[in-house]
């Protein structure tokens, strides 16, 4: 797999300080440095289910799973829309076809009709019921949409959207018109049996082609792709909305990750068919279930992180490599043991604060300070040198640089009004916030160019919340550092602890207009409802430890520590450079910018015993720890070699096999459309060949180059849902130096 070299997630000490990460709880004999993500597969993340089992990709595609699917219990009739239920008779089906079947019309309960009438008006409620009944009777006929009276209250519209979706089981689709009226239309079942090109799908009406359960659960392996991006691509191929694909949490983009997902009313064969067509995405381990996967439905994540080119900072760096390996192992193992027993400060990691020139927390600060124009300019901030270079010298071909250069150029063209239309055209779609802003500010030409509030509201709720939550996280990090600096592990009067109540459940949510959103909560951990300060007697009793202490992210629905740290919140947030904000006044005129706040544990600990292994190597492209896909490919390669040996009596040719395997790494079967598959996976395939050839390089050739030995560390640990691996690595390695630019 092609991988960009030396993306180092460890930032400089000054950057860590700027986002509030200044304290450490773990003693180290000496700090050390290394290169993270020389290959993206050097950073591996495997989801841990609620049952504590680590998710691994075991089988790619169907790969013998058809029998399991056939043996699974069929979904109950009530769980599946009528149009998706089919006869399971494989033999004589003429009798079923010849006898007309009466359509069963689902009636809406009277109490639901009453509730809808009270909320949306009796006339609109009755029109919806009639639309639903007519749609069931004649699903093939297009029904005229029904429209409500204009509703100015956005929150009320959101309630109506959600109630319609619940009452009619998502069979009536709704949207909001320009005047605030709700437009409802019946969602007819999609006809999947006919297609215009050569009848490729002429057999899809066969019973064996229908999904046998409501939700198809599957394992998603992705390489150097964001979870939402992977979901969007899968949805595009399956021709479904991304919202019907559920997952427990997002995973890092610059990594090889494994997680469980679910998709509604989809055949395993359809999902298996995408393998080999989408670069960096592989699916497998299909299983039908009656319930979907929900957000937060995981215990945490297991990380296997390879740190290459490890170097000791200090005089020990001059010692022989073998001695350095022993010293580093003793140093790191001691640190891991201490972290296992005592934990470390539960900082928000630098990913929380973005990767652009102006951090996401800076944008959030401007929004909370009602400086909407400044917030928009911060979102569209660009590097003049890069933008100028992109305009005069062109865009580089390297994928990662291409998008970044296009972004800087687009922001420059728009903000300087050199070419607004081109700016909108070239802005890469993965920069969703920038795309939303540009389109909104240009929707009516210059007349809408200063509608900064509208542009911010136009950004999807999840992205908009990201800026506000980053600002909260910035404050929390600084408060945590101050708390540790003053009191360390000591419990003091006024520290906050959680009042034991039932946590808010995590489910997929909707925004105020009824649209599905991916992350309805700020983090992946449960949301505690209340906290209280400890009395002096409680703090001294020994009943509570530092692991019970929580700190709030600023909001209108939290309380602050009743001690010096509570005063710190007020002082820190009130500074001009931090927006002159008041932690006790976090409600805004616009509901979208009001923050309730939440509580977060001060300390974090591992879920299981961690481990570390140090190795020496010469080639940075060497894979130190196999991914799940590597293991599957190796197993397939061995099986192929054994089969050829049995059939031909000749030895298999390893380099030839490696190239063949690399051409379609994700698929366990030949693609139906080799041309299309090659086009979509050509980039990954070409780089696969390069990696495979590197791995099969003759050992004598390596020795001839006489490359110097380097040290690599492979660290494995498990973290809870809201923890950051990069924060854990900083605790393990020490503060990075200012000169760290790799």
- Are 455 and 485 part of one and the same domain? no
Query: What's the average model confidence in pLDDT over 677-699?
Result: 41
- The pLDDT score that the predictor gives to residue 133 is 84
> Quick check: is 518 in a domain?
yes
Note the pLDDT tens digit of each residue in 383-439.
Answer: 999 999 999 999 998 876 899 999 999 999 999 999 999 999 999 988 989 999 999
For 483-517, the pLDDT digits (tens) are 999 999 999 999 999 998 654 444 333 333 332 22
Does residue 491 fall inside a structural domain? yes
At 421 the pLDDT is 94
Same domain, 337 and 451: no
Q: What is the pLDDT of residues 550-564, one digit of tens each?
A: 999 999 999 999 999
Range 672-677, long-range pairs (CB < 8 A, 24+ positions): 672/273, 676/277, 677/276, 677/277
pLDDT at 196 over 80: no
Q: What whole-number distance in Å separates Cα of residue 164 and Cα of residue 155?
A: 14
Q: Is the pLDDT of residue 322 over 50?
A: yes
**pLDDT (tens digit per residue) in 202-224:** 444 454 555 667 899 999 999 99
pLDDT in tens, 531-544: 999 999 999 999 99
Nearest to 294 by CA among 252, 260, 257: 260
Q: Active-site residue 252, yes or no?
A: yes
Q: Which one of the listed residues 35, 252, 495, 523 is annotated catalytic?
A: 252
Q: Is residue 576 one of the residues assigned to a domain?
A: yes
Q: Based on the fold, state whether residues 523 and 582 are members of the same structural domain.
A: yes
Asked if pLDDT for residue 201 goes beyond 50, the answer is no
User: Are residues 516 and 590 part of one domain?
Assistant: yes
Same domain, 483 and 598: yes
**Quick check: is 728 in a domain?**
yes
| Residue 418 is assigned to a structural domain of this protein | yes
Whether residue 644 is contained in a domain is answered as no
Tell me: pLDDT of 688 over 70.
no
Judge if 122 and 161 occupy the same domain.
yes
Last residue of a domain, one of 167, 186, 205: 186
Domain count, the chain: 4
CB contact at 8 A, 234 and 245:
yes
Q: Which one of 120-134, 250-264, 510-524 scores highest in mean pLDDT? A: 250-264
Q: Per-residue pLDDT for 305 more than 70? A: yes
Average pLDDT over residues 45-58: 95
Within-domain flag for 218:
no
691 pLDDT tier (thresholds 50, 70, 90): very low
For residue 494, the model assigns a pLDDT of 97
> How far is the CA of 434 from the CAs of 86, 378, 408, 423, 437, in angstroms?
46, 10, 11, 10, 5
**Is residue 547 a contact partner of residue 514, using CB atoms and an 8 Å limit?**
no
pLDDT above 60: residue 280: yes
Q: Strand runs (DSSP E) across 178-242, as ranges? A: 182-186, 215-223
- For residues 491 and 455, state if they share a domain: no
Phi/psi for 262 (5° steps) reads -140, 150
Instruction: Tell me the C-alpha distance between 260 and 108, whole Å.
Output: 34
Alpha-carbon span 210 to 74, nearest angstrom: 11
Report the alpha-carbon distance of residue 685 to residue 679 in Å, rounded.
10
| Together in a domain, 324 and 389 | no
Residue finishing a domain among 163, 186, 209: 186
How far apart are alpha carbons 217 and 67 in whole angstroms?
16
Q: Is residue 159 part of a domain?
A: yes
Give the DSSP per-residue string, 592-609.
GG----EEEESEE--SS-
pLDDT for 276 equals 85
Give the global pTM: 0.69
Mean pLDDT of 690-700: 44
**Structure-token match 């309630």, residue found:** 159
- Residues 595, 530, single domain; the answer is yes
Site of tokens 């649209």: 515
Last residue of some domain: 186, 203, 224?
186
Range of the structural domain that residue 449 is part of? 380-459
Query: What pLDDT sits at residue 502?
Result: 55
User: DSSP labels for 432-499?
Assistant: HHHHHHHHHHTEEEETTTT-HHHHHHHS-HHHHHHHHHHHHHHHHHHHHHHHHHHHTT---TT-EEE-
Q: Does residue 149 register a pLDDT over 90?
A: no
Is the same domain home to 454 and 488?
no
pLDDT tens profile 72-113: 333 333 333 333 333 333 334 333 344 444 456 777 887 788
Evaluate if residue 676 carries a pLDDT over 80. no
**Selected residue with higher pLDDT from 140 and 384:** 384
């Amino acid at each position: 797999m092609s991988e960009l070299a030396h993306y180092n997630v460890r930032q400089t000490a000054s950057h860590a300080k700027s986002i509030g990460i200044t304290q450490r709880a773990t003693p180290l004999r000496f700090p050390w440095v290394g290169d993270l993500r020389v290959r993206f597969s050097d950073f591996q993340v495997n989801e841990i289910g609620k049952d504590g089992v680590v998710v691994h990709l075991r089988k790619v595609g169907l790969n013998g799973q058809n029998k399991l699917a056939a043996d699974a219990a069929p979904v109950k009739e009530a769980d599946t829309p009528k149009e998706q239920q089919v006869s399971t008779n494989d033999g004589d089906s003429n009798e079923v076809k010849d006898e007309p079947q009466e359509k069963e019309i689902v009636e809406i309960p009277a109490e639901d009709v009453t509730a809808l009438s009270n909320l949306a008006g009796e006339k609109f409620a009755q029109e919806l019921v009639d639309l639903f009944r007519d749609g069931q009777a004649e699903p093939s006929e297009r029904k005229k949409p029904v429209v409500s009276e204009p509703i100015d209250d956005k929150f009320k519209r959101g309630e109506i959207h959600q109630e319609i979706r619940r009452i009619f089981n998502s069979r009536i689709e709704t949207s909001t018109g320009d005047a605030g009226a709700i437009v409802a239309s019946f969602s007819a079942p999609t006809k999947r049996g006919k297609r215009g090109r050569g009848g490729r799908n002429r057999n899809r009406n066969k019973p064996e082609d229908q999904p046998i359960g409501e939700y198809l659960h599957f394992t998603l392996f992705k390489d150097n792709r964001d979870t939402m991006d992977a979901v969007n691509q899968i949805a595009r191929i399956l021709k479904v909305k991304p919202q019907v694909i559920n997952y427990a949490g997002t995973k890092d983009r610059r990594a090889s990750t494994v997680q469980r997902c679910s998709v509604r009313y989809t055949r395993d064969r359809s999902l298996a068919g995408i393998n080999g067509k989408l670069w960096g995405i592989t699916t497998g381990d299909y299983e039908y279930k009656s319930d979907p996967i929900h957000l937060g439905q995981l215990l945490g994540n297991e990380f296997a992180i390879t740190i290459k080119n490890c170097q000791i900072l200090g005089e020990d760096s001059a010692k022989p490599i073998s001695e350095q390996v022993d010293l580093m192992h003793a140093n790191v193992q001691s640190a891991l043991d201490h972290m296992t027993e005592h934990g470390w400060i539960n900082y928000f990691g630098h990913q929380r604060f973005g990767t652009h020139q102006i951090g996401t927390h800076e944008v959030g600060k401007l929004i909370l300070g009602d400086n909407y124009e400044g917030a928009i300019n911060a979102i569209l901030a660009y590097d003049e040198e890069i933008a100028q270079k992109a305009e005069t010298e062109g865009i580089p071909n390297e994928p990662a640089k291409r998008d970044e250069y296009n972004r800087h150029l687009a922001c420059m063209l728009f903000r300087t009004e050199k070419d607004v239309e081109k700016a909108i055209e070239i802005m890469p779609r993965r920069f969703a916030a920038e795309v939303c802003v540009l389109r909104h500010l240009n929707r009516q030409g210059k007349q809408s160019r200063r509608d900064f509030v509208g542009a911010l509201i136009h950004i999807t709720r999840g992205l908009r919340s990201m800026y506000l939550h980053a600002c909260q996280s910035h404050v929390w990090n600084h408060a945590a550092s101050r708390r540790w600096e003053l009191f360390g592990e000591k419990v003091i009067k006024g520290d906050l602890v959680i009042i034991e109540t039932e946590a808010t459940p995590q489910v997929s949510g909707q925004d105020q207009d009824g649209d599905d959103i991916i992350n309805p909560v700020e983090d992946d951990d449960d949301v505690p409802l209340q906290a209280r300060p400890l009395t002096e007697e409680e703090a001294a009793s020994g009943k509570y430890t530092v692991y019970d202490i929580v700190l709030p992210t600023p909001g209108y629905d939290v309380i602050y520590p009743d001690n010096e740290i509570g005063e710190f919140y007020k002082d820190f947030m009130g500074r001009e450079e931090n927006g002159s904000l008041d932690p006790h006044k976090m409600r805004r005129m616009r509901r979208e910018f009001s923050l309730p706040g939440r509580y977060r544990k001060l300390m974090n600990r591992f879920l299981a015993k961690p481990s570390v292994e140090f190795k020496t190597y010469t080639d940075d492209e060497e894979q130190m720890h196999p991914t799940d896909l590597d293991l599957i490919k190796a197993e397939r390669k061995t099986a192929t070699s054994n089969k050829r040996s049995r059939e031909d009596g000749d030895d298999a040719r390893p380099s030839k096999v490696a190239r063949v395997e690399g051409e379609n790494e994700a698929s366990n079967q030949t693609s139906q459309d080799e041309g299309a598959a090659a086009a979509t996976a050509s980039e990954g395939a070409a780089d696969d060949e390069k990696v495979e050839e590197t791995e099969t390089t003759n050992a004598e050739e390596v020795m001839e180059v006489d490359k110097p030995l380097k040290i690599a560390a492979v660290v494995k640990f498990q973290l809870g849902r809201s923890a950051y691996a990069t924060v854990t690595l900083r605790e393990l390695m020490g503060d990075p130096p200012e000169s760290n630019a790799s």
